[in-house]
Structure 1
Amino acid sequence: MSDGPRGNGWVGILPILLSAAIFAGFLGALPRVSDGEPLRLAVDWVPSLGVTLSFLLDGLSLTFALLISGIGTLVFLYSNSYLAGHPQFARFVLFLFSFMLAMLGLVLSDNLIGVFVFWELTTITSYLLIGFGHETKKGRRSALQALLVTGAGGLAMLAGFILLGNAAGSFELSEILTDPEALKAHEHYTAILVLVLLGAFTKSAQVPFHFWLPNAMAAPTPVSAFLHSATMVKGGVYLLARLHPGMSGTDGWIWSLTIAGALTAVLASVLALRQTDLKQALAYTTLMALGTLTLLLGQSSAYAMTAFATFLVVHSLYKASLFLMVGCIDHETGTREAGILGGLARAMPVTAVAAALAGLSMAGLPPFIGYIGKELIYAGAIVAESSPVFVTAAALAANALMVAVAGVVALGPFWRKPGGKLPKTPHEAPWPMLAGPLLLALGGLAFGTFPWLIEESMIAPLVGGLLGDPDQTKHLHLWAGVNLPLFLSLATFALGFLLYALHRSLRAALARADAATPTLDDWWDRFLDGLKALAAWQTALLQSGVLRRYMAVMFLVVLVGLVATMVARGVRVPMPDLSDVTWMNVALVMLMIVGAVLATLTTSRITAMASLGVVGIGVAMIFIVFSAPDVAITQLMVETLIVVLVAVALLRLPKLDRASEDWRPLDALLAVGVGGAVSAVIFAVIATPVDRRLTDFFEVASYPEAHGRNIVNVILVDFRALDTFGEISVVIIAALSAYALLRARPSKGGDR
């Protein structure tokens, strides 16, 4: 195998073959799934927690899987030429293929825990891909931003999944969605909705979490094409679609998705028109599409669901084609600036054809599938459950702006006059780079001209998964008659052409407004700076190097935790029964109190250690009084050993700092508080009936299963062997740490 300017050997060919085989496998399952026979596979994963590794192939997951694997194959083919000879190409392929597999796992998983695991895998792999050019500060910043925003949303989503699983009594999505009314009536529905929406909105970059997605353009163009058209950013949309049958229809669902989707679609469309970098403009149009899909999922009508299914396919086709086309332009001209590019149709005719076909589908012109998708969006908007006027107005504004942006991105670089000198002499890209954008663009034309090609096989099963009945799917027509959606389409074209004619002056005005307005991206940097400052302050406060302060903080946390828990749970502490107290008990308690007080007042470490030894001996005597001689002997041996070893160690330490004596009253108060809280917990526990289930189990099982009659020893050595091993390991680590400290010597300057 050899890497060179002409190719990348088997490293480049292997992922193409594997992704094509995966696509062929899903394509082979299409007839069966289209006939209403979903496929399910499940194996035990964590049986003790009831978690299975289960996968479901139905209309929704199959549509996503076909888009992911099909577009992925073309992206791998494109990458093999786009990054030919790149020294890190093997690493890039590994990241990209892992990303594809993680996304496939996400859309196919039928278990909530599995969904979360694959969700986080897409987050990690996208972080690696966005930061592929880690030599630049921009690449590192963009990757970290995407990781933190989507990762935080993923943690919120996990909490929602746990609540959802507990509310439904199962973590299997196919079981959870069978009783939507019970789920929506559950007391935790609102919390589940909020937490799940946080995960979905961060992943699919809905307002106000939209700022990370355009910055992800730091990734190589093949990654951008894959990420924006079929994979990660569609993860949130997929989750909303998967949960739609069980959680939709409530006011919280309808208005959350409607408002977030509408704001995202319109704002992103405006910001897309403001961009001069073609890749950035396409990034914002992805936000527009994600907002539109979210807006549609906020509804429940058959038109809205058919529009969602159709526009999902529409967007994947034209967006992947346009991103790959922009990569061809950048690769062959050295720039992506709209103000410079122009007149490329003669030098790059095939690229110009692919761009024109994809751009016309993006603009929603007939006879492309984009036109059918736009008509269905309007049909779903005018019957929206939330506010038909609001939804229709948002869709009209976003679609009109998309017409203008399509002209800027897809037509301007090829047909307008050049605005400056190109860095490189343009020429046509190699065929592996042209195959993807051309095939995808032709797909938009073919599916628009012959919509039956995908209606029965992809759209109807997907709608059936959303509504429960594929027969509710609205037919895909290029001509649906003279109706309101037709007039809205005509208004879209008229307004879009006007915006394109004025786009230069509008872009300048938007640039001035953008420069004068602080953005969430700027606030993100301030947020991170504040977070770092807080971490530095907290570290300086907690990691002071003073052992007394460490101990005080730990015991204070224990005290607050115990008291807060008991108050929150309304635990009542009964008065102890003192009727059986003897003079021996009183004498032992007084002995331990004297030892504790002496340890508090003394300024000698040796005296303090001996005083604590007195307390330990008192505890051992209590064990003897209550007929536990074996435990008492263990206690005496441990106390004696500790006193001897610590006394030897104390001889190596410097004298006590006299300033530390000022803190002794507070230390004593804290000690009394912790002791009182622990005693209260013990009294409360003693007052409750004894649960003998574990006791009975160990009494019965100790000899037959562990061949031991000493139950305590059997528990430590057999039933809790790992715990005992862990405790031994902790003791060894502590001993090694103590040894290292004792071997330390003061530096020449006197500092330790």
Structure 2
Amino acid sequence: MQQATDATLLIALGLPFIGAALAPMVMRRMGVAGAWLLASIPAFAFFAFASQIRSISEGTAVVGGLDWIPSLGVSLSWYLDGLSLAFALLISGIGFLIVLYAGGYLKGHPHHGRFMGFLLLFMGAMQGLVAADGFLTLFVFWELTSIASFLLIGFDHQREASRRAALQALVVTGMGGLALLAGLITIGMATTTDTLSALLADRDALRTSAFYTPALILILLAAFTKSAQFPFHFWLPNAMEAPTPVSAYLHSATMVKAGVYLLMRLNPVMGDTALWQTILPLFGGTTLIVGSVLALRQSDLKLMLAYTTVGSLGLLVMLTGFGTETAVLAAVLYLIAHALFKGALFMVVGILDHETGTRRIEDLSGLRRTMPLTFAAALGAGLSMAGIPLFTGFLAKETIYEALTGGAGAWSLLVLIVAILGNAAMVAIGFEVGLKPFIGETRPTPQAAHEAPVLLWLGPVVLAVAGLGLSLLSYWFYSFLADPMASAIADASVRNHASPLPHISLAFGLSLFTLAIGAVLYLGLDGLRRGISGGLAAFGWGPDRGFDQVMRGLVRLAVRVTAVVQNGRLDVYITVAFVVIAAALLLPMILAGELPALPSIPMLQLHEWAVMLVAVTGLYAVLRTRNRLTAIASLGIQGFAVAVLFLLMGAPDLSFTQFMVETLSVVILALVMTRIRLDPTDHRPWNEKLLDGTIAIACGLGFGLLLLKVTQGVFDTALTDFFNANARLIAHGRNVVNVIIVDFRGFDTLGEIAVVTITGLAILAIIRIGTPREKRENRP
């Protein structure tokens, strides 16, 4: 590994967050020109990451970071190898174009600056995620992408559909975030490490651990929710409620590929097992078919692309889990090709919507004359999506078929068939989005169609040219980007050899077969769309509707549970709290067989028996009295007796504290009782007394047995020695107890004081509420 000694990468990772904070002011003062200034942030990041290409292509990982919580050994560290570098270049490079595109797309919007801030926050979170080395850092940035996407998807917050889509995305991906946290903790328990670099250095530690299966399930749940795998795919198309710059960035280079990144990153340590090679192709293939079918059903161009993204993510997951080096090469090529053509096509659809007022395919035709640059970008991206030779999409498709035809057996054949059907749907949608709106006779549109300004067409043109250029320069593309990325995923040195020019092979034959099926689907898409819509309507249910039903069920369950446990009765709250305490104390000791040995009765002296007699007398008075004030005063006797025992046992400071607490408690409670209208006697039925008495005895027994068990164990003097050694040295105090309370536990003590203060204010408010107004006004 190579230690990054300069601050370039640190600036590249941190600058988007600074830009996010400054974006509203920049856009307010500079207008659209501010987009160029803000775009310099991802541009700087792109060149900072690009400066590491040569060293990483030679097999050297770049590491570095800053201490975050040194006392716990937690740092904000980065780990750049071929995989993370490729993702970082896509995020920053496409991010540069998206920021410019957003500057033109939302021109004049009252919250333009806020949107740009959210976009840069999203970019920074995704860059931090793919560059993270520590488990905690990875989790923090993972959750930050969910929060940033929530803000972006719900940007048009006045629309109910936007709010619903944002909440849905947050709930689904947030659930996956919790699974990721649990999975990382499980991996840490299995391998005793908390960094990806250390985990990758010992690749077999996790696979041979008993924690492998639970860790795998948790990691897959996190990845599947983030990358919209079936049955969690529904949130992604609904996220199209976001403005088109968000859709283009979300689908091409950022959040939806975070789950794929996680699977690729952990492939060296979790792959090469039967579970991995079964679950990933199964769910990935299912997602590919579901996404493709639903894409063919749509007439909204944006939804077509959204569902093909679902299918493409399924294809990536399927290839990652297939288990061969060629499949990994195919996944890498397709991921890069997809980022380029999907980002371009989404921006094209945004241009069509922005300049014509519609994005429904039946309303668009003949736009090549009025929008030539947009047509060129759309055609180039559409051809790459269809897998036409000379484009990166063709390289990916050839490698996919080469990988899937290399296996034997029914399983490999089934995966191959799924890939062919999914790719055929991609061909049809690629032509439908990239070609059909621009050919044929011109149709009237809600707005007079015209070419978009430079900020809008620049992004799709650059990405379409990149989709062609990387293929034509495949030698450098493979050497500096694709091969290091694939080698990091496969944990072996692998090399691409796919050519942008077609050559006679089984893979090329399957490519032609796929194009033929795709052309048939494209020509008959109108009828196919009606047939799929009718079939799905007859089915009548889906995960999206199921999500609403689950959320409504949760709300109803919460209402019912709240009605039981939060019914406004203080006695119920106290009863539940003490039942839980008793159960927490007694059940673990009973179930684990850890009850303490009963001690012998100690030989007490006369004055000690006298104190015990006082305590028993006070207890009798509490139980027998019918007056609450008398009960409060009698209860104080118990506290004073305990304080005397502390004094006799050589703890005067603790005894003094106990005296003060008991005195204040009796005084405050007595004052409250005199100010609130309460009956002087407390008549309660015998069943309530029996229940409360049983709970009280259980709590007392639990605390007593726990203390006995603790005192019967071996006394660990580590804390005692520490405080004795450091009380005078660090805190400059002789009284160890006071030093612990005031210095070592100062914030804890401050919190306790705050709690007591708030409680006192609450009591004061209750007293004033319970006092008649006339009496309060006449009180001196």
The structural deviation recorded for 1:535 is 1.8
Cα distance in 2 for residues equivalent to 1:6 and 1:703: 57
Is 1:266 aligned with 2:289? yes
- 1:72 Cα offset (Å): 0.9
1:8 aligns with 2:67: no
1:454 Cα deviation from its structure 2 partner? 0.8
Structure 1, 367-376 or 268-277: larger mean CA deviation: 367-376
1:87 aligns with 2:136: no
Cross-structure match for 2:495: 473
Task: Report the equivalent of 2:144.
Answer: 121
Amino acid at match of 2:550: F
* Distance of aligned partners of 1:614 and 1:290 in 2 relative to their CA distance in 1, 3 Å threshold: same
Matched, 1:628 2:640: no
Superposed CA offset, 1:439-458 (max 9, x none): 21122122233322311110
From 410, 416, 421, give the equivalent of 1:392.
Answer: 416
Alignment partner of 1:413 is 2:404: no
Note if 1:40 corresponds to 2:78: no
Deviations for 1:554-577, whole angstroms, at most 9, x for unmatched residues?
A: 111111222233245431221122
Q: Could you report, residue by residue, the CA deviation over 1:598-621 in whole angstroms, capped at 9, with x for unpaired residues?
A: 434543210210221122122123
Aligned to 1:351: 374
Contact 2:118 2:152 in 1 (8 A): yes
Distance in 2 (alpha carbons) for counterparts of 1:8 and 1:415: 36
Q: Which residue number corresponds to residue 503 of structure 1?
A: 525
Partner of 1:492: 514
What letter is aligned with 1:242? R
Is 1:707 aligned to residue 732 of structure 2?
yes
Give me the identity figure in percent.
43
Q: Which residue does 2:211 correspond to in 1?
A: 188
Q: Which moved more, 1:163-172 or 1:329-338?
A: 163-172
Please give the residue correspondences for 1:242-321 in structure 2 after superposition, counting only pairs within 5 Å: 242-321=265-344
- Asked if 1 retains the 8 angstrom alpha-carbon contact of 2:27 and 2:34, the reply is no
Structure 2 vs 1, CA of residues 422 and 602 (structure 1 numbering), >3 Å: closer, same or farther? farther
Q: State the 1:480 CA deviation.
A: 6.4
Distance 1:659 1:607 in 2: 15
Partner-residue secondary structure (3-state), 1:41: strand
Which of 738, 742, 745 is 1:717 aligned to? Answer: 742
- Out of 602, 615, 618, the residue aligned to residue 641 of structure 2 is 618
Contact 1:159 1:195 in 2 (8 A): yes
**CA root-mean-square deviation:** 2.3
Q: Is 1:669–2:691 an aligned residue pair?
A: no
Q: Does 1:435 align with 2:422?
A: no
Residues 363 and 5 of structure 1: CA distance in aligned 2, closer, same or farther (over 3 Å): farther
How far off is 1:3 after superposition? Answer: 10
Match for 2:214: what amino acid? A
8 A Cα contact 1:11 1:90, kept in partner: no
**Equivalent pair of 2:333/2:396 in contact (CA under 8 Å):** yes
- Quote the offset at 1:491 in angstroms: 1.6
Q: Which residue of 1 aligns with 2:670?
A: 647
Mark the runs of 5 or more structure 2 residues left unpaired by the alignment: 1-23, 774-780
Which whole-Å CA distance do the structure 2 matches of 1:747 and 1:521 have between them?
55
Which stretch shifts more, 103-112 or 380-389? 380-389
Does the CA-based 8 Å contact 2:26-2:113 persist in structure 1? no
Shift of 1:642: 2.0
Over residues 453-487 of structure 1, what are the superposed CA-to-partner deviations in whole Å (9 max), with x where a residue is unaligned? 311110111112122333x2231213464332122
CA displacement at 1:87 relative to structure 2: 1.0
Q: Which residue of the partner structure matches residue 685 of structure 1?
A: 710
Q: 2:384 aligns with which of 361, 384, 396?
A: 361
Equivalent residues of 2:628, 2:682 under 8 A apart: no
- Counterpart of 2:120 in structure 1 is 97
How far off its partner does 1:284 sit? Answer: 0.5
Q: Distance in 1 between matches of 2:524 and 2:619?
A: 85
Question: Is the Cα–Cα contact under 8 Å of residues 146 and 174 in structure 2 kept in the other structure?
Answer: yes
**Residues 280-322 of structure 1, C-alpha deviations (whole Å, 9 max, x = no match):** 0100011111111111110232211111111111000100000
- Given that 2:676 and 2:771 are in contact with CA atoms closer than 8 Å, whether structure 1 keeps it comes out as no
CA contact (8 A) 2:300 2:359 kept: yes
- Name the amino acid aligned to 2:760: A
**1:476-531 superposed Cα distances (whole Å, 9 cap, x missing partner):** 21346433212211221111111112211111011112223211111111111111
* CA apart distance, 1:724: 2.1
5+ residue gaps, structure 1, are none
Per the normalisation by structure 1, the TM-score is 0.95
Q: Is structure 2 residue 759 aligned with structure 1 residue 737?
A: no
Question: In the TM superposition, what whole-angstrom CA distance separates every residue of 1:229-261 from its partner, at most 9, and x where no partner exists?
Answer: 000101111111111111101112111111111
Aligned counterpart, 1:27:
50
Contact 1:11 1:93 in 2 (8 A): no
- CA distance 1:4–1:21, change in 2 (3 Å): closer
Contact kept in structure 2, 1:455 and 1:476, CA below 8 Å: no
Matched, 1:401 2:425: yes
Greater alpha carbon shift after TM alignment, 707-716 vs 628-637: 628-637
Q: For residues 43-84 of structure 1, give each alpha carbon's deviation from its aligned partner in whole angstroms, at most 9, with x where no partner exists.
A: 221222222211122211111111111111111111111111
1: CA distance between counterparts of 2:670 and 2:751? 27
Aligned length: 747
User: How far apart are the structure 1 equivalents of 2:136 and 2:93?
Assistant: 27
| Residue identity in the other structure for 1:534 | L
Q: How many Å apart are 1:110 and its aligned residue?
A: 1.1
Q: Is the 8 A contact 2:225 2:233 kept in 1?
A: yes
Which secondary structure state, in structure 2, belongs to the residue aligned with residue 233 of structure 1?
helix
What per-residue deviation string (whole Å, max 9, x for no partner) do you get for residues 426-446 of structure 1? 111112211111121122122
Against the structure 1 CA distance between its residues 528 and 603, is the aligned structure 2 distance closer, same or farther, given a 3 Å change threshold?
farther
CA contact (8 A) 1:301 1:383 kept: no
Equivalent-residue separation in structure 2 for 1:507 and 1:337 (angstroms): 13
Structure 2 partner of 1:375: 398
Letter in 2 for 1:488: L
Indicate how the Cα distance of structure 1 residues 579 and 372 shifts in structure 2: closer, same or farther if over 3 A, else same: same
Comparing 275-284 with 437-446, greater Cα deviation is found at 437-446
Which deviates more, 699-708 or 491-500? 699-708
1:204 aligns with 2:227: yes
- Take 2:300 and 2:502, find their aligned partners in 1: how far apart are those partners? 37
SS at structure 2 position matched to 1:62: helix
Which residue, 532, 535, 552 being the options, matches 2:555? 532
Contact 2:626/2:683 (8 A) holds in 1: no
Separation of aligned partners in 2, 1:628 and 1:225: 69
